[in-house]
Amino acid sequence: MNNHWELAGDFLYMRRAEVQNKTLVKNADKPQCSGGCPNHKVIDTNDLVNDFGFVPGYRVGLTYIADPANGFEMNFLYLQPWNARKKVEGDQSLSFPFSHADYTVDFHDASVAIAEYQSHFWDLEFNYWRYLSPRRIDYFSISGLAGLRYFHWDESFKLKMFNPPDHSSYDVSTENRIFGVQAGVDLQMNPTRWLSWEFFAKVGGMVDHCEQSTFLGDEDNTVKLHNFEKQIRQIGIYTDVLAEFAIHFNRYINFHAGYQFMFFSGLALAPEQISYRTNKNAGDRVYDDGTAIIHGMYAGIIFTF
């Protein structure tokens, strides 16, 4: 069918994974590991990312099919923020592993530590499709695309250390505004007129305008040890892979479901900005070599008109 539109809506259920693991809190009273090595870690960044779990979201898309060989597409994807929180207590035995223990008061010999991590993602893309063989007609249909993409990725990290009667915090926030150029290929199999399978892969290069702001306080946050904002531009890559099946009720409506996997490199992730060093310029830069994964299931419907 030529010169028509397709309106798509999907429900997403996805998880955020992958982060550089860093120790956040140690407990001096925790037993050493079996080999006798000092292993007093009670909170690290992997603990928080593993607690993110799956969050809901949605994707809406509009496609214009000009003729059997050409199409134009716009998609918007939004996911609810991931949140994680971990709290530990100790008998004035908790500490953040600064390179010099006497660098702070509240982050050493603390009684309570609370780590919180939030990550939020959405994206927008515009694509030109070239259909090399007819979709939903041939048993195998191959298509290619080229397009533009924008990702927005915000993160915040906070570590609170309670050393009664005071408590202080290590706060980091990052923002990634990512512009990408992408290409992709799609293989569709149509065993019957009402059922199809699809395998789709995109790869892109990106420029990330990333920012970070950091605050490290001490003595009930009355002393500012770190308080700065930095921004840079970074080049990275991303991939986006989908596997999908669809049931075509008629020429106007189809139901589809699938699995999607996205990988990113060259990100500024909030917990990776923290520094154990205690010199004057410690942490006073944007660490932009982070990698992250988003993956999960989706299901939706397409209306053709």
Question: The pTM is what?
Answer: 0.92
Give the per-residue pLDDT at 68: 87
Give the per-residue pLDDT at 176: 97
Half-sphere exposure of 216 (CA within 13 A, CB side): 20
CATH number for the domain that contains residue 142: 2.40.128.90
Give the per-residue pLDDT at 35: 56
Residue of 159, 160, 182, 302 lying closest to 238 (CA atoms): 182
Banded pLDDT at 116 (limits 50, 70, 90): very high
Q: What is the pLDDT of residues 247-303, one digit of tens each?
A: 999 889 999 999 999 999 999 999 999 999 998 777 788 999 999 999 999 999 999
Average pLDDT over residues 147-175: 97
- Domain extent, residue 262, equals 4-304
Q: What is the pLDDT of residues 225-259, one digit of tens each?
A: 999 999 999 999 999 999 999 999 988 999 999 99
> Per-residue pLDDT for 39 more than 90?
no
Tally the domains of the chain: 1
Percent of the chain with pLDDT over 70: 96
Banded pLDDT at 140 (limits 50, 70, 90): confident
Rounded CA-CA distance 284/133 in Å is 53
